[in-house]
Amino acid sequence: MFRLSVFLLLFSSLALICPAYSQDEFPALTGPYMGQKPPGMVAEPFAPGIISREGWELEGVFAPGMQEFYFTTRGGERTRSTVIGFRQQQNIWHKFIEFPRNGEISFSPDGQVMHMAKGYKERIANGWSERKSLGAMFERKDWGIMRLSSSASGTYVFDDYKNNDVIRISTIKNGQRQEPIPMGPQINSGKWTAHPFIAPDESYLIWDSEREGGYGDSDLYISFRQADGAWGRAINMGEQINSERWDAYASVTPDGKYILFNRGIDEKNDNVDIYWVSAEIIEVLRAKQ
């Protein structure tokens, strides 16, 4: 099961050392979006043959400012999953960092924090700090966090595979972090519910789940925040994004223009690629909610 594979990758021993990716393995990439032609309303592979290749390429995400791109890979000489980071300098993208993955990468909207499940890194000088803990509230051994996403106001949403695959939410009230609680049944229904992404303004939430009426394996769903503050019904994001394969782990680029996500290419998910599609789909679905 692919979920089990993700679990094993997430908690592989940090003692393993991964050989460095050589910049020579990548062609010269210039211009916005890693030099790629942006997609339309139907999902396409991101950087085919460059980033999306045979094997595992997961969790593609741009950092706020759109000058950095990160993805996770495994295979070849790598015995565990590894985060590769690129930075655009003078219009050219260079690989500038590589480190063992210990939690799925997401960013605070201001770009100063790199979230990594129960931990995080802070931006320092020309790079990132060592991974730090979010604290005892999130370090519970009976919680299994893969991905944590944050809004501009500091709200956290995260998945929990150790407790029936629920998504939890933690808000800030009077300057204090509130105890995380499960979200409602409109979010926490179906199987393999995971990998949430909350919009910076908290106007919508995207996640993946296997539900009745879907396209096959896990699909991407969206819920919009209602006028009364409640979360609306789960809306399948449609055939422009979802397929009969595993579609999961969505994030919206910080400029709000595109959605990046993972898709299993074969039935066993031995080959997983990064896809992207126009974020205009979000507004189309918002109008139909």
Q: What is the pLDDT of residue 106?
A: 98
CA atoms of 237 and 250, how far apart (whole Å) = 11
Residue 69 burial (CB count, 10 A): 24
pTM for the complete prediction?
0.90
Q: Reply yes or no on whether the pLDDT at 216 is more than 90.
A: no
pLDDT confidence of 114, banded at 50, 70, 90?
Answer: very high
pLDDT confidence of 4, banded at 50, 70, 90?
Answer: very low
Q: What is the pLDDT of residue 10?
A: 39
pLDDT confidence of 12, banded at 50, 70, 90?
Answer: very low
> How deeply is 91 buried, as exposed, middle or buried, from its count of CB atoms within 10 A (0-12, 13-18, 19+)?
exposed
CA atoms of 104 and 261, how far apart (whole Å) = 13
Q: Return the C-alpha torsion angle 110, 80, 28, 42, nearest 10.
A: -70
Which amino acid, 213? G
Average pLDDT rounded to a whole number, residues 250-258: 98
Q: What is the pLDDT of residue 269?
A: 79
CA atoms of 35 and 44, how far apart (whole Å) = 15
Residue range of the domain that includes 26: 2-288
Q: What is the pLDDT of residue 7?
A: 40
Element holding 283 (H helix, E strand): helix 280-288
- For residue range 128-182, list pLDDT tens digits in order: 999 999 999 999 999 999 999 999 999 999 999 999 999 999 999 999 999 999 9
Which of 242, 260, 243 minimizes the C-alpha distance to 251?
A: 260
- C-alpha R_g of the chain: 18
The pLDDT mean for the chain works out to 90
Q: Reply yes or no on whether the pLDDT at 5 is more than 50.
A: no
Q: What is the pLDDT of residue 25?
A: 67
Which of 261, 268, 224 minimizes the C-alpha distance to 46?
A: 261
Count of domains for the chain: 1
For residue 23, what are the contacts with CB-CB under 8 A and spacing of at least 6? 94, 95
CA atoms of 113 and 121, how far apart (whole Å) = 6
Which of 107, 208, 189 minimizes the C-alpha distance to 148?
A: 107
For residue 172, what are the contacts with CB-CB under 8 A and spacing of at least 6? 153, 154, 155, 178
CATH number, domain with residue 177: 2.120.10
Quote helix, strand, coil % in the chain, to nearest 5.
Answer: 10, 45, 50
Residues of the chain with pLDDT > 70: what percent? Answer: 90
Average pLDDT rounded to a whole number, residues 256-284: 94
Q: Reply yes or no on whether the pLDDT at 261 is more than 80.
A: yes
